[in-house]
């Protein structure tokens, strides 16, 4: 059986002295006959702020009153340890609410559970505030250590060693809580770790620039042309066709055939795809589609993936249609750097108003990406044959993708052609593209000396050397490996560094939205349950039973006010509550009704169980 030590009038530690040494003045006073117990706030803090406000415990006369009544009586001596002793801070929390099911209190009446008799005063709020600030059920380390150091020093000076252990054990037993103390769970991936001010800040949401770019892409993927074009309603499983060329002059020629580009939605997966239609083409050899099948297996970040190809008469002619992945808001290199501009642009190096020159760092990035795409195609035994400024798309910041791959293989299908010679044509087209981008004109190769002079003045000698190598006479020894070697490992490593930096930036943007989907699903459950007018023939279904707890919790999260009655718009509070609810912690909170006549003390785990039960009932009824 545990031994409970009786609390002493002034200190829990009593000095052991010889009875013969005690004088009449130091003898303890006889015990009061009153059943009232002395207020412990007097023993701990020296005063009680509720003494004149109805505190039910006994308050002895103050020292000033005693001195006035007995001016000649000396003041009791105090030791140095007692004078310098810190404020008592308990090392455990006293939870006045028993660990049971939700308990209802009316008019904020104190609970009747067996608790320490001094826990109803506001002096206990000092520790409670400290607990909520530190996020732990333990007092601050500096205060706890200082208190423990002074306490042990005082006990060692006033208690003999043989009785020290027994007395210290009795003190520990006296302050044992009525239930296990609540331990606050540490922050984990359910909660945001970075502190935020009590307002809606962009630190937990996607940056405005990235959000604007993605919204523009989404808008482009769902835009509807006006006025509508006379297009087929359905095309081999594709519907909602939208032309991507702005004017009829944007139609491009593949050798002797015109082509048009559309955006369409696949009926199987609901995704948008790009359809390139070649007009008035009659397929002669079915084996020509073997090239499309080979291209569909090529997956590279700088090549727009080929999906399928088919012929159709839906346009009132014999048309070849090839399906590609769709990248909204893309622009060709021709539109960005080579299309003539009429206003607000300086003269190009070859006459005519055009765009500004490309920086060398951007140019080398383009060279590396195109070379990487050519390498992937050549290793697969294919030839790109589309290294053309009108077929290379800029789908992001300095991000290139080669489009329309595989079409030429179908249009000029020849079983006798040598793939090696066709791959050599990719290098020549690559070199012509470099001269066009450096000089800002598609006709730069027509006057090669002038183009070389412009390239020498604008860019480094490595650019000119690479361009001349690419347009040189085809030879069996020319390969993409030599092109990559001429680019240089330093530029390749720099490009890889930029790619990883971009990946880190996008991952950071993704991390800011990481929890939004989970919390959105939780808020949807709130929306289905709260204020539901009727369910299961019960008009007040959302106001009774477990649903009433959910309603009070909703008010606790979103409808709090400050001391002046103004709405408390605190995003940190909302995020903390929703994440604790989603993971179902054992932390208990007090939910107050709107008329302030009743309150419930529940845990987040119990509220979560109520939400799951209510939402399960709704789900079963809807199925």
φ/ψ region of 237 (left if φ > 0, alpha if ψ in -120 to 50, else beta) reads left
Read off the pLDDT of residues 493-536 as tens digits, 9 standing for 90 and up.
999 999 999 888 888 888 878 778 888 889 999 899 988 888 88
DSSP string for residues in 441-478: -TTGGGGHHHHHHHHHHHS-HHHHHHHHHHHSPP-TT-
CA gap 128, 138 in Å, rounded = 10
Asked if residue 325 belongs to a known ligand binding site, the reply is: yes
pLDDT band of residue 203 (cuts 50, 70, 90) is low
More confident residue, 527 or 11: 527
Residue 237 structure tokens: 């499983």
Whole-number Å distance between alpha carbons of 158 and 13: 7
Structure tokens at 504: 């880190």
Per cent of the chain over pLDDT 90 is 37
H helices of 441-588, where? 448-458, 461-471, 480-487, 489-512, 516-529, 546-558, 571-583
Side-chain-side CA neighbours of 5 within 13 Å: the count stands at: 20
Distance of alpha carbon 282 from alpha carbon 311, whole angstroms = 8
Instruction: Please indicate if the annotation marks 390 as binding a ligand.
Output: yes
CB 288 within 8 A of CB 409: yes
Residue with tokens 């770790």: 193
Q: Report how far apart, in Å, the C-alpha atoms of 197 and of each of 125, 523, 570, 573 are.
A: 24, 22, 8, 10
Identify the band that residue 198 occupies on the pLDDT scale cut at 50, 70 and 90: very low
Is 61 marked within a binding site?
A: no
135-188 confidence digits (pLDDT tens): 444 444 444 444 444 444 433 344 344 444 444 444 444 444 444 444 444 444
Neighbours of 546 (CB within 10 A): 17
Tell me the per-residue pLDDT of 434-481, one tens digit each, with 9 for 90 and over: 999 999 999 898 899 999 999 999 999 999 999 999 999 877 778 999
CA distance 357 to 153: 80
Provide the token pair at 512: 């800011």
400-425 pLDDT, tens digit each: 999 999 999 999 888 888 888 999 99
332 marked as part of a ligand binding site: yes
Q: What is the mean pLDDT of residues 382-408?
A: 93
391 labelled binding-site residue? yes
| Cβ–Cβ under 8 Å, residues 372 and 219 | no
Distance CA 129, CA 483 (A): 68
pLDDT class of 595 with cuts at 50, 70, 90: confident
| Domains assigned to the chain | 19-174 (no CATH), 211-511 (1.10.510.10), 516-622 (1.10.287.3700)
Confirm whether residue 276 is marked as ligand binding.
Answer: yes
Q: What is the DSSP letter of 323?
A: E
Is the per-residue pLDDT at 91 higher than 60? no
Q: Which runs of consecutive H residues, i.e. helices, occur in 272-311? A: 290-296
Whether residue 251 is annotated as binding a ligand: the answer is no
Nearest CA to 377 among 296, 319, 446?
296
Integer distance in angstroms from the first to the last C-alpha of the chain? 59
Yes or no: say if 236 and 310 are a contact pair by the CB < 8 Å rule. Answer: yes
pLDDT of residue 327: 95
SS (H, E, C) 41-96: HHHHHCCCCCCCCCCCCECCCCHHHHHHHCCCCCCCCCCHHHHCCCCCCCCCCCCC
DSSP 300: B
CA distance 130 to 45: 17
Which string of DSSP letters, residue by residue, matches 168-187? Answer: HHHHHHHT--SSPPP-PPPP
Q: Cα(395)–Cα(217) distance, rounded to whole angstroms?
A: 10
Q: Is 35 annotated as a binding residue?
A: no
Q: Would you say residue 582 has pLDDT above 70?
A: yes
Is 133 assigned a ligand-binding role in the annotation?
no
Residue where the block lists tokens 């609410």: 97
| Angle, CA 574 vertex, CA 571 and CA 579 arms, to 5° | 125
Cβ neighbours of residue 226 closer than 8 Å, sequence gap 6 or more: none
- What are the angstrom distances between the C-alpha of 76 and each of 10, 11, 434? 12, 14, 98
What's phi and psi for 152, nearest 5 deg?
-65, -35
Mean pLDDT throughout 284-307? Answer: 93
Average pLDDT over residues 58-63: 73
At 278, which helix (H) or strand (E)?
strand 272-278
Omega within 30 of 0 (cis) for the link into 521: no
- Pairing between strand 257-266 and 272-278? antiparallel
Instruction: State the pTM of this model.
Output: 0.61
Task: Say how far apart CA 423 and CA 437 lie, in whole Å.
Answer: 22
Residue 603 confidence (pLDDT): 94
């Amino acid at each position: 059986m545990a031994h409970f030590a009786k609390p002493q009038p002034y200190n829990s530690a009593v000095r052991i002295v010889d009875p013969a040494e005690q004088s009449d003045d130091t003898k303890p006073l006889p015990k009061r006959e009153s059943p009232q117990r002395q207020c412990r706030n007097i023993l701990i803090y020296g005063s009680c702020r509720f003494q004149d406000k109805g505190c039910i415990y006994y308050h002895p006369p103050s020292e000033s009153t005693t001195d006035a009544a007995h001016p000649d009586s000396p003041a009791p001596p105090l030791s140095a340890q007692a004078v310098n002793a810190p404020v008592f801070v308990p090392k455990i929390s006293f939870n006045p609410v028993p660990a049971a099911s939700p308990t209802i209190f009316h008019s904020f009446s104190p609970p009747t559970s067996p608790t320490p008799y001094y826990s109803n005063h506001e002096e206990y709020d000092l520790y409670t505030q400290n607990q909520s600030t530190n996020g732990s059920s333990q007092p601050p380390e500096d205060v706890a250590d200082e208190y423990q150091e002074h306490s042990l020093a005082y006990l060692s000076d006033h208690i003999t060693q043989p009785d020290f252990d027994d007395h210290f054990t009795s003190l520990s037993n006296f302050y044992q809580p009525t239930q296990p103390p609540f331990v606050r769970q540490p922050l984990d991936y359910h909660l945001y770790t970075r502190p935020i001010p009590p307002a809606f800040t962009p630190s937990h949401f996607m940056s405005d620039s990235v959000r604007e770019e993605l919204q523009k892409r989404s808008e482009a993927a769902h835009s509807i042309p006006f006025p509508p074009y006379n297009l087929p309603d359905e095309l081999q499983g594709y519907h909602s066709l939208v032309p991507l060329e702005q004017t009829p002059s944007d139609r491009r020629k593949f050798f002797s055939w015109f082509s048009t580009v559309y955006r369409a939605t696949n009926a199987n997966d609901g995704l948008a795809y790009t359809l390139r239609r070649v007009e008035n083409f009659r397929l002669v050899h079915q084996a020509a589609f073997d090239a499309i099948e080979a291209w569909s297996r090529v997956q590279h970040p700088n090549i727009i993936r080929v999906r399928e190809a088919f012929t159709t008469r839906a346009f009132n002619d014999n048309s070849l249609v090839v399906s590609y992945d769709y990248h909204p808001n893309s622009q060709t290199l021709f539109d960005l750097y080579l299309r003539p501009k009429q206003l607000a642009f300086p003269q190009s190096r070859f006459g005519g108003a055009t765009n500004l020159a490309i920086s060398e760092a951007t140019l080398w990035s383009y060279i590396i990406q195109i070379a990487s795409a050519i390498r992937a195609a050549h290793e697969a035994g294919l030839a790109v044959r589309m290294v053309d400024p009108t077929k290379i798309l800029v789908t992001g910041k300095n991000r290139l993708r080669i489009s329309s791959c595989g079409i030429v293989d179908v249009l000029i299908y020849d079983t006798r052609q040598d793939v090696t010679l066709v791959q050599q044509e990719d290098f020549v087209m690559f070199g012509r593209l470099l001269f066009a981008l450096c000089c800002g004109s598609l006709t730069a190769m027509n006057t090669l000396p002038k183009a070389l002079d412009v390239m020498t003045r604008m860019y480094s000698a490595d650019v000119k050397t690479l361009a001349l190598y690419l347009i040189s006479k085809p030879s069996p020894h020319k390969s993409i490996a030599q092109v990559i070697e001429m680019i240089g490992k330093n530029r390749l490593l720099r490009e890889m560094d930029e790619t990883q930096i971009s990946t880190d930036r996008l991952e950071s943007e993704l991390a800011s939205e990481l929890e939004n989907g989970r919390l959105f699903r939780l808020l949807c459950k709130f929306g289905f349950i709260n204020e539901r007018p009727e369910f299961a023939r019960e008009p007040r279904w959302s106001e009774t039973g477990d649903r009433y707890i959910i309603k009070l919790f909703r008010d606790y999260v979103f409808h709090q006010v400050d001391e002046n009655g103004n709405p408390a718009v605190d995003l940190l509070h909302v995020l903390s509550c929703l994440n604790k609810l989603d993971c179902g912690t054992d932390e208990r909170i007090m939910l107050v009704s709107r008329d302030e006549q009743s309150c419930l003390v529940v845990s987040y785990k119990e509220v979560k169980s109520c939400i799951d039960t209510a939402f399960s009932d709704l789900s079963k009824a809807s199925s």
